[in-house]
Structure 1
Amino acid sequence: MSSTDQLQELANVPKEFFKDGQQFMNRCTKPDKREFLKISQAVGIGFVVMGAIGYFVKLIHIPVNNILVGAA
């Protein structure tokens, strides 16, 4: 493989990347109201669940930490 072939192949990489990106953007659609609400609800539930898990971990961690520090 000659150096000009390598340069040509290297130059084609960004062209293919942008071509694929353009095709992807053309296929993407803006969500309708129902789909947006569904996604928002899922994200909201995720925030609540992760917050609850963090709260309960902290709730359990504080007394355990006090027992360990008090015993030492």
Structure 2
Amino acid sequence: MDQRLLRRRRARKRHKKGFSKLLQDFRLNSHYTASYRRLAYDQLKFVILPLLAFFKYSTRVFKRCTNSDRHEFRCFVFAIVVGLFIIGFLGFIIKLLHIPITNIIMG
């Protein structure tokens, strides 16, 4: 009976995750004053928490990303080609207008 209770208690014990697990040794083994320890803890929290949040967000984004299929890829390529043609055509028109204006001003 006692062994069953001990097993249940061990199973219920929650393991520390993330930031608490990372700083567990820092809290227990430091021999500094309480104020210095609190200051160092706050500084570490200020540095590490944004990094952990960024890592969690990045993994969530990578899990949601998917490869594009053939139709979606063709749409991307078509949009890029049309954009390049428009930019090239505008550059050509500007160059054609620039040559006579330069000749009128210089000539």
Q: TM-score, normalised by structure 1?
A: 0.87
Which of 39, 42, 45 in structure 2 is aligned with 1:5? 42
In the alignment, which residue of structure 2 is the partner of 1:39? 76
What's the CA shift for 1:12?
A: 1.1
CA distance in 2, matches of 1:68, 1:20: 58
Say which SS state the counterpart of residue 56 (structure 1) adopts.
Answer: helix
List gaps (5 residues or longer) in structure 1. none
What's the CA shift for 1:3?
A: 4.4
Is 2:97 aligned against 1:60? yes
Identity of aligned pairs, percent? 34
RMSD across aligned positions (CA): 1.4
User: Which has the larger displacement, 1-10 or 12-21?
Assistant: 1-10
Q: More relative contact order in 1 or in 2 (CA 8 Å, sep 6+)?
A: 2
In the alignment, which residue of structure 1 is the partner of 2:63? 26
Structure with the greater alpha carbon radius of gyration: 2
What's the CA shift for 1:66?
A: 1.1
What's the CA shift for 1:45?
A: 0.2
Q: TM-score, normalised by structure 2?
A: 0.61
Is 2:86 aligned against 1:49? yes
Aligned length: 70
CA distance in 2, matches of 1:36, 1:51: 23
